[in-house]
Amino acid sequence: MKQFVFFFALAALCSACYRRQDPLVRAAQDLQDMAEQFATQEEDKIQQFNSLRLGMSEEDVIRRLGPPKSRQALSTGDEESRELWTYQGALRPLGTLMFENKRLVELKSE
């Protein structure tokens, strides 16, 4: 019987100490978590862009960064093809890539 009274008193004490979290506090914490995840994803994208190397193929770049925001054909001849690709981050432009004959020949970070 003494054990029952002890556990009942302990349960009552614990439930009195427990408070539900204020919904506004929880919403603020969720927003902060989302902002941190967003910033981390943006940093990852920038690092991926900066890891590109001249001479990479178009396929290698797409595998690493995904498709570009835009592709602009600058010249297409029988012997040479040139394209300018633009990559956009969530907050700002990442940069542009110039391809000649499907190989990366120039990269500019924003």
Q: Over 60: is that where the pLDDT of 5 sits?
A: no
Q: What average pLDDT does the chain have?
A: 85
pLDDT at 41 (0 to 100) = 87
Which DSSP string corresponds to 56-89? -BHHHHHHHH-S-SEEEEEEE-SS-EEEEEEEE-
Please write the tens of the pLDDT for every residue from 47-101: 999 999 999 999 999 999 999 999 999 876 677 889 999 999 888 889 999 999 9
Domains of the chain: 18-109 (3.30.1450.10)
Q: How far apart are CA 49 and CA 108, in angstroms?
A: 10
